[in-house]
Amino acid sequence: MIQQIDYFAIAPPLALALVAGLVLLLDAFLPARPRTKTGLGLVTLAGVLVALGFVIAQAARGGPPQSTFCVPPGLAGGPAQAAGLCSFVVDRFTLVFAGMVLVAAVVVVLMSMTELASGAIPVGEWYFLLLCTLVGAVTLPASRDLIMLVVALELVSLPVFALTAMKRYDGRSSEAAVKLFVVSVVSTAIMLFGVSLLYGIAGTVYLSRLGAVFSGRVAAPGMAGDAALATAQELPAVVTVGVVLVVAGFAFKIAAVPFHSWAADVYQGAPVPVAALLSVISKAAGFAGLILVLVTALSGQAATWTPIVAILAALTMTVGNLLAMRQSSAVRLLAWSSVAQSGYILAPLAVAATSGAVSASMAYLVIYAAMNLGAFAVVMLVSRTAPRNELDDYRGLMFRRPAAGIALAFCLVCLAGLPPGLAGLFAKVFVFREIIEGGSGWLALVMAVNTVIGLYYYAIWTARLFTPDGGRQLSRYRPPAAAWLAMGLALVAAVLFSIAPQLVLDMTSLSASG
Amino acid sequence: MMGWIPVALLAVPLLGALLLVLSPHTFRPVLRAYGLFLSGATLALSLLLLVMFDYGRPAEVQFEVDQPWIPGLGLRLHLGVDGISLPLITLTALLTFLCFVYLCWGRARASSQFMQARPRALVFTLLVLEVGMIGTFLALDLLLFFIFFEIVLIPMYFLIGIWGGQGRRAASIKFILYTLLGSVIMLLGLLLVWAQTGTLDIEALSASHGAGMSRSVQILAFVAIGLGLAVKTPMWPLHTWLPDAHTEAPTVGSVLLAGVLLKMGTYGFARIAIPVLPEGAMAVAPWLGAFAVVGIVYGALACLAQRDLKRMIAYSSVGHMGFVLLGFATLTPVGINGALFANVAHGLITGLLFFLAGAVKERYLTVDIPALGGGLLATLPRLGSVLTFAAIASLGLPGLAGFWGEMLALFGAFQPANGLPRGLFLTYMVIGGLGAVLTAAYFLVMLSRVTHGRPPVAGAPGAAAPHAAGPDEGLSAPADDTGTPADLDDRLIRTTPDERPVVPLGSEPGEQPVTPTGSSGDRPAVPLGSTARHATTATLDPYTGGVVPQGPGGREPGSGRATPADDIRSYEVLAWTPLVILILLFGLWPGLLLSLTTPPVQALLGALS
């Protein structure tokens, strides 16, 4: 039987994969000249933009979700059973995540062009690996079976190890890569074990089918006897173990406590664009997978995982914030703060598996992506002249480079969640609203206190931008246009979300489909 | 409809601030005029509001604007003015304008200190601050209120953190963390109200008087919202950020902090906490009253122990805000009217006091009361008399604005709302009355130490002379310069206060020219002409490191003696006169304000009375 593939549905990852191959070929055959570097960057950028164009076209097409790689009705035992047994589905959830990832990718590619200009890093490999990661990140939200999920997640993770280690002969960079590799492999192993347990019980890898089994609508083939999993009481303990292991595996990817310890070292060791990639794209992919598994496949088991996620969220935001308070390095501070932000994103999921909770999480994630990328773009700029990238290097940035200073100040204020950074404020309001409507007052209080802790380090950093630096030499370094473009793009998004947060809500509100 | 005025009130300063960011260099030469113009335009708009307001129905919301902003959150751009918010909006616009006058008028010396250090940023900060303050009083949507409530944090943080005194970093961080913690908890309370009722519209929520919320939810929400407001107000024991922030803030920062920012907390009680959650208010009111009277007494006792003039005024704010909270806690029209009155009066009086403290600091480079050494009325008669006026207004002398609010608040406590324990509130009234006496005590002690007494002899230790222009600041300056033993210093401090008779004006020996000061103790408003003349001669000179050359050569540290040029200057007259006039006006004619607030207060208490 021949599978019908809807090439329009898989066009975004396909385009990215083709461009990845193209970049590798071009790098091999073109002469190694400075112009080639820029050329490869532009080709990559074009590839990302084409993929983004496909995503926009899919979104504009509207209509019902497109799905491909489906189980033919003949094999599933009738059209009724076959409904929803698809591995690749393009619905609004997919589109929002893919769109966000690709826009973030544009910023990351622009940052890479700045980073690669210094010449220590092989260009072709860099862009190839970057594009591979993007293929995974775009595929992951569309994945609707466990195997596809795991493969896509690995596709996001594997190239990042290499990207982290790209700064050759740099001890810190290699250490970071090894650390990331070990942690990631362990997390994958844990998650695979959990996935296999779930598969063993439910006898299917398709998320929609898993959802039906675990909510008790369909009998579980893996269970002794014919008892349907009607209620939580009748569940065997192994399901709980499976759920916990899967959640733990994803918790590694999004750097949630207690699986957070790799974050700071890896962010600091990796080149800045990779740190930005990890903190936004890789994290978004992790959240997409987590939401898919929890909400689509395990919504019937919400009573099992909501307390776990609640505790994870509370711990993640608290530990991340407390660690961030003590940092003197800009990248490490951003690393821990992004851990804390993960906690905020997790928090709505801790309340209920409702569409409102998912949309609050996604809204926060989208806004977080904009403001965090803005901060990283400026950090990247400063790292060109101050390799150690201490917070003290930002003293007086407002006078040396007013545009960068204003951009960073705005993004930090956004991250702290105060006006004029209304985007961050509204993101927090979305989350608070879900938590309070869900009745988890204690989590809301923990988050309130954390907001204040977070403000402390963001405010101190912001204040440093405005303090005179006592005659620091104005460096001769002129950042390329790409750096300014990256910063401007992120800043425009953050400002736009501040003025019209409804845009984000419109995007994310209807996306919590199955 | 006249809805454009509230929008313009926000848009003028906001667009002004944005323009400063977008074209940094265009306005550099005309920065002073720019700031004055924008704040003046805002003041004009608020005066227009005052004129156009329909005084026949002050309980209704007028100049209403209602546009959707974020439908997904149910957030609407809902602005409006009623009898409660109108005086506060005008007060905000006025105080901001006066701050700009203080900074920018002519070649004011106070300004040059600030305007030399990043003038553009200062103008920008003040304008953004104004947007937040006015917006808070205009907002009729819970989340919109919260957003404006938050907008002031960042500008105030920078105002303290950049233009502040020695310990500015710690003070600014403490300020922002404390208030943010409060406001985030308030946000939780607001969202709880929203989750229960499904609307954010303050008007609708007030009209329904808490319908749809159970008693326990109302209590929880009231406590959460009240905590946020109480931090801002500040209520004892959540006040500890206030003295530090005030001590370190620059003059304009202190004025706006005391004059407007604290009002945002108390306004929240009148606008949101009490009308929206009447049952919660009823349950929590005895506690609120208890904290309020503790604050009154605590503020007064803390004031008695202060050596720092600014810190003392800051603690006096804690006491005054205690009266305001006590007024709210009674839940009677009388008490809440009193609270709202005291609110405005405190804004005027304490704003003036901080202006004066700033003026003293500028001249003596210290506000340490013992170091000032007394005799201000003799050395700087006009400044001393205005200080005396503001202090007695603040201590609640009948006939001045400070009196009515406190009197009404105490009177409200005499007969609290039905359902509140009367005996308890009578106790509060008695304690509050004692607090009022203590308030009088510390202000009189302060006056006796600062304005009265013999001015320190030239060259004597223990006195920071006006224009002590040396590099040393504060207390260490005299001892280091003259090398006199410290015990002599102490003796002077101890004997300077109250026993000494007031030195008659004009009996001063030496170079003090006899100026027609008149009976300056009674007449706070200084003759404009003479001061203006003096001031121009003094301030035409460029600001050179703290010394205005009056005689030949600079003045030696410690040997200085105040000359008329050191007394009130023209920009100070301009900045202070409106406040003095308004204090007198509201003191002599309290009905002006009370007639405005009474109907809305009765409406908001509809569920209780």
Residues A111/A273, Cβ–Cβ less than 8 Å: yes
- Separation between Cα atoms, residue A146 and residue A125, nearest integer Å: 30
Question: Which residues on A lie below 8 Å from B188 (Cβ)?
Answer: 432, 436, 441, 444-445, 448
CA distance to partner chain B, nearest, from residue A425 (Å) = 8
Q: Please give, rounded to a whole number of angstroms, the shortest distance from the CA of B190 to a CA of chain A.
A: 10
For residues A282 and A156, the answer to whether their CB atoms sit within 8 Å is yes
User: Which of B23, B154, B157, B183 to mutate to test binding with chain A, by most A CBs within 10 Å of its CB?
Assistant: B154
Beta carbons of B594 and B341 less than 8 angstroms apart: yes
Chain A positions contacting chain B at CB under 8 Å are 402, 406, 413, 418-420, 422, 425-426, 429-430, 432-433, 436-437, 441, 444-445, 448-449, 451-452, 455-456, 459-460, 463, 466-467, 500-502, 505-506, 509
Instruction: Say which range, A429-438, B183-192, B223-232, B360-369, has the weakest mean pLDDT.
Output: B360-369
In this complex, do B150 and A425 lie within 8 Å of one another by their Cβ atoms? yes
Of B154, B161, B181, the CB nearest to A413: B154
What are B115-141's pLDDT values in tens digits? 566 778 888 889 999 999 999 999 999
Q: Residue B75, Cβ neighbours under 10 Å: how many? A: 21
A167 contact partners, CB below 8 Å, separation of at least 6: A120, A121, A173, A270, A271
Residue from A265, A279, A412, A277 nearest A342 by CA: A279
H or E element at residue B589: none
Interface test with B, best of A321, A344, A452, A511 (most B CBs within 10 A): A452
Mean pLDDT of B253-282: 90
Q: Indicate if the pLDDT at residue A259 is higher than 80.
A: yes
- Inspect the interface and report whether the beta carbons of B70 and A451 lie closer than 8 Å: no
- B495 or A298, which is more confident? A298
Tell me which of A325, A359, A406, A433 to substitute to probe the interface with B (most B C-beta atoms closer than 10 Å).
A433
Q: Which residues of A touch B24 (CB under 8 A)?
A: 402
ipTM of model: 0.85
Question: Which chain A positions have a beta carbon within 8 Å of B70's beta carbon?
Answer: 426, 500-502, 505
Q: Which of B187, B197, B219, B248 to mutate to test the interface with A (most CBs of A within 10 A)?
A: B187
Per-residue pLDDT band for B328 (boundaries 50, 70, 90) equals very high
Chain A CB contacts of B159 below 8 Å: none
Q: How far is B372 from chain A (nearest CA, A)?
A: 32
The answer to whether A175 and A269 are in contact (CB under 8 A) is: yes
pLDDT category at B204 given cuts 50, 70, 90 is confident
**In this predicted model, which residue has the larger pLDDT, B32 or B108?**
B32
Least-confidence region, from A352-356, B80-84, B360-364: A352-356
What pLDDT was estimated at residue B107?
A: 57
Query: Between chains, do B143 and A429 touch, taking CB under 8 Å as contact?
Result: yes
Q: Give the long-range contacts of residues B586-593, CB within 8 A, separation 24 or more.
A: B586/B341, B586/B344, B586/B345, B586/B348, B586/B401, B586/B404, B587/B393, B587/B399, B587/B400, B587/B401, B587/B402, B587/B403, B587/B404, B588/B399, B590/B341, B590/B401, B590/B404, B593/B87, B593/B340, B593/B341, B593/B344
Mean pLDDT of the region A168-179? 85
Of B121, B176, B188, the CB nearest to A459: B176
* Cβ atoms of B580 and B389 closer than 8 Å: yes
Residue B201's DSSP bridge partners are: B141
Taking an 8 Å Cβ-Cβ cutoff, which residues of chain B contact chain A? Answer: 21, 24, 69-73, 121, 128, 132, 143, 147-148, 150-151, 153-154, 157-158, 161-162, 169, 172-173, 176-177, 180-181, 184-185, 187-188, 191-192, 194-195
**Among B151, B177, B188, whose Cβ lies nearest the Cβ of A455?**
B177
Average pLDDT of span B584-601: 86
CA distance B70 to chain A (A): 5
Could you tell me what percent of chain A has a pLDDT over 90?
Answer: 38
Residue B20 and residue B123 in contact, taking contact as beta carbons nearer than 8 Å: yes
Write down the pLDDT at residue B448.
Answer: 87
**Would you state the pLDDT for residue A323?**
92
- CB-defined contacts A:B, below 8 A: 90
Range with the lowest mean pLDDT among A315-319, A397-401, B306-310, B488-492?
B488-492
- Closest alpha carbon within chain B to A503: B70
| pLDDT value of position B521 | 37
Contacts B180 to A, Cβ<8 Å: 418, 451-452, 455
Mean pLDDT for chain B? 78
Interface test with chain B among A351, A395, A432, by most B beta carbons within 10 Å: A432
- Of chain B, the percentage scoring pLDDT greater than 70 comes to 79
Residue B308 DSSP label: B
CA distances from A263 to A184, A252, A289, A333, A450 (A): 11, 10, 19, 10, 19
Span A427-443, average pLDDT: 88
Residues contacting A169, CB < 8 A, separation 6+:
none
Class of residue B553 by CB neighbours under 10 A (exposed 0-12, middle 13-18, buried 19+): exposed
Give tens-digit pLDDT for B514-571: 344 433 333 333 333 333 333 333 333 333 333 333 333 333 334 344 454 567 777 8
Note the helical H segments in B540-605: 570-588, 591-604
B150, A436: Cβ pair inside 8 Å?
Answer: no
**Mean pLDDT of all residues in B34-47:** 90
Distance CA B255, CA B233 (A): 15
**Do B191 and A448 lie within an 8 Å CB cutoff?**
no
Which H or E run includes B119?
helix B119-138
What local confidence, expressed as pLDDT, does residue A220 receive? 66
- C-alpha distance from B148 to closest chain A C-alpha (Å): 8
Asked if residue A333 lies in contact with residue A459, where contact means CB atoms within 8 angstroms, the answer is no
